[in-house]
Amino acid sequence: MNFNNVSFEAAFGTFQQLCESTVPEVCFSGRSNVGKSSIINKTLGRKSLARVSTKPGKTVTVNFYKLDGLRLVDLPGYGYAKVDFKERQRWAELMEGYFKSERNIPLVFQLIDARHKPSDFDLSMLDFLSQMDIPYVIILTKCDKLNKSEFNARMQSIYDDLGDLATDVTIIPTSAQNGMGCEQIRDIISQIHDSIGG
């Protein structure tokens, strides 16, 4: 698979605007500021394909990237405290609309900040994905911010924290700063690419 064959395709602010699901869509989901755009950039070896936010919670859009016969989807972040009710409503409609419109979604990468236990939002997102029967892989972000003992402790407790939601689920510790875990993310995307005969 050719990871250089990537480009921005489109951004959508409402569910009604979403373009058709013509190719398999591999999603990146997680709360605002967790590091979705950063890990997409690092995984693809692009400095600024996906916009890294300086102000969290600003972009409530679904962003599509074309990648060699697949689509990568940067989903809008959730759970940012300062976003008002209307924006939350818009977020919920966009996400519901996205996931419930018969799209071809072979996998969701669910991002969780490695420095903290999964939030209630993270858990309900995983619960939603399991109920929808959408396969997911968990990406722990910003591992460079942990020292060795903090990192080990987090890796020890993450399966307990997630309980049933982590059964048979791959968990990848990553860093968009030093590239940790990005090769494993590329491998998973490659496998999906190969399985569709692209």
List, in sequence order, every beta strand (DSSP E) within 30-88: 62-67, 70-74
Binds Mg ion (CB under 5 A): choice among 37, 110, 141, 174: 37
| Cα distance between residue 52 and residue 41, in whole Å | 9
Q: Nearest distance from residue 30's CB to ligand GDP, in Å?
A: 6
Determine the Cα–Cα distance for residues 87 and 182; give it in Å rounded to an integer: 32
Q: Does 83 bind ligand GDP (CB under 6 A)?
A: no
Which amino acid, 134? I
**Please, what is the minimum distance in Å from the beta carbon of residue 87 to ligand GDP?**
14
- Using CB under 6 A as the binding rule, whether residue 87 contacts ligand GDP is answered as no
Q: Per DSSP, what are the bridge partners of residue 26?
A: 72, 107
Q: Give the interface size with Mg ion as a residue count (CB under 5 A).
A: 2
Give the span between the Cα atoms of 109 and 170, in whole angstroms: 10
Nearer to ligand GDP, 105 or 176 (CB): 176
Residues that bind ligand GDP (CB under 6 A): 30, 32-38, 52-53, 77, 141-142, 144-145, 175-177
